[in-house]
Structure 1
Amino acid sequence: MTRGCERGLTWIKPSFVWMRYRCGWGTKEGQETVLAVEITREGFEWALAHACLSHYEHGLHADRATWRRQLKRAPSRVQWDPERDLLLRPLPHRSLQLGLADEAARLYADEWTVRITDVTPLAHTIHEHVREGDLDAARQLLPHEHPYPTQDGSLAHLHR
């Protein structure tokens, strides 16, 4: 899932339910159309490898000035937010958001994008089940999501 440009960044939100939280199930003004954007694994991994954490983390970064320089140079950035359940309540684990700028945004648009699918009707159908209290029916329609497999240590620069 992606969300359009925000402060010069294009944000990739890999979690379907988190994206539903962000766009209000496709009901927020300016976010009524929900698209699933499939990109190459190579592109996603390039963006992760070249990313900087979106906030300073003591113990991960040498100091704030070093982190600011890294953030300014990085073509992508990672932000971790609480994952959401179907009622959009925060869960105890986090979902990655990947912000793309400059080179990364160009590669995303020109090389990494494989397919774009309008999932607005699906979002609305799931939301209707949630509003009716039929969470089992809603869960059955959710895309199957799994933790993203990474090489040992490949994301060490993005979390502590």
Structure 2
Amino acid sequence: MQQPQREIRAVHTASTVTVYQAYAPEIGGPAARAGRFPAAWKRDRMTWIKPSFLWMMYRCGWATKEGQETVLAVEIDREGFEWALRNACLSSYQPGVHPDRATWQRELRRSPTRVQWDPERDLHLQPLPYRSLQLGLAGEAARRYADEWTVAIRDVTPLAHEIHALVRDDDLDSARGLLPREEPYPAAEGLLSSLQP
């Protein structure tokens, strides 16, 4: 069955959604141990969250890139996740969605959340023909993410290394078996309508 071009695929429960981020160990370690982001986590900066594990692996190079050696699985409240989507705008101007560039720029200034759709990745981190959500959180959204929406934080760096080792050994079936089970997210009707170029 063909994948929709743009769809949120994530590990989710009735009340939570799991997203991924990668940090230097001095941020990632304390966050995983405490189950919440430490005071050193900058709440006034934009932070990008990704429901796709493999897109995160592409971004952090299987937890090898400098400053991204610790991969966190952050379980957040579904209500918070959907608030972020409802208050989002696309991170780039799209003629089919926005009446003009000035309107998009006004939206961008007002919105605490940005949506970007990037090519999903396979186990070799090559692009696939469909896209995955990236959500940029700034201002109120970043603060709420860190201090209200976060339910649990786990360090999944060992899992990233284990899957990467299997991929290097060309044992793709075993690697695939360890991937988090990401399923289409049941977004309420209309939630993504203004976020689909």
TM-score with structure 2 length normalisation? 0.78
Asked if the contact 1:3–1:11 (Cα under 8 Å) also holds between the matched residues in 2, the reply is: no
2:133 to 83, 96, 113: 96
The whole-number CA distance in structure 1 between the counterparts of 2:185 and 2:92 is: 22
Aligned to 1:24: 61
The amino acid across from 2:127 in the alignment is: P
Aligned to 2:21: 2
The whole-number CA distance in structure 1 between the counterparts of 2:154 and 2:82 is: 22
The amino acid across from 1:91 in the alignment is: L
The amino acid across from 1:87 in the alignment is: H
Q: How does 1:95-134 map to 2 (within 5 A)?
A: 95-134=132-171
Aligned to 1:35: 72
The whole-number CA distance in structure 2 between the counterparts of 1:13 and 1:129 is: 23
- Please give the per-residue CA displacement for 1:60-91, whole angstroms capped at 9, x wherever unaligned: 10100110010011000000000000000100
Aligned to 2:192: 155
Between the aligned residues of both structures, percent identity stands at: 70
The whole-number CA distance in structure 2 between the counterparts of 1:146 and 1:113 is: 20
Q: Deviation of residue 2 (structure 1)?
A: 2.3
**RMSD (Å) for aligned C-alpha atoms:** 1.3
Q: Deviation of residue 3 (structure 1)?
A: 4.4
Kindly tell me the number of residue pairs found equivalent between the two proteins.
Answer: 159
Q: How does 1:55-94 map to 2 (within 5 A)?
A: 55-94=92-131
Structure 1 runs, 4 residues or longer, greater than 2 Å off: 2-5
Asked if the contact 2:22–2:63 (Cα under 8 Å) also holds between the matched residues in 1, the reply is: no
* Partner-residue secondary structure (3-state), 1:46: helix
Q: Deviation of residue 57 (structure 1)?
A: 0.5
2:177 to 129, 140, 147: 140
Asked if the contact 1:13–1:96 (Cα under 8 Å) also holds between the matched residues in 2, the reply is: yes
TM-score with structure 1 length normalisation? 0.96
Q: Deviation of residue 153 (structure 1)?
A: 1.7
The amino acid across from 1:150 in the alignment is: A
Asked if the contact 1:79–1:96 (Cα under 8 Å) also holds between the matched residues in 2, the reply is: yes
Gaps of 5+ in 1: none
Asked if the contact 1:9–1:101 (Cα under 8 Å) also holds between the matched residues in 2, the reply is: yes
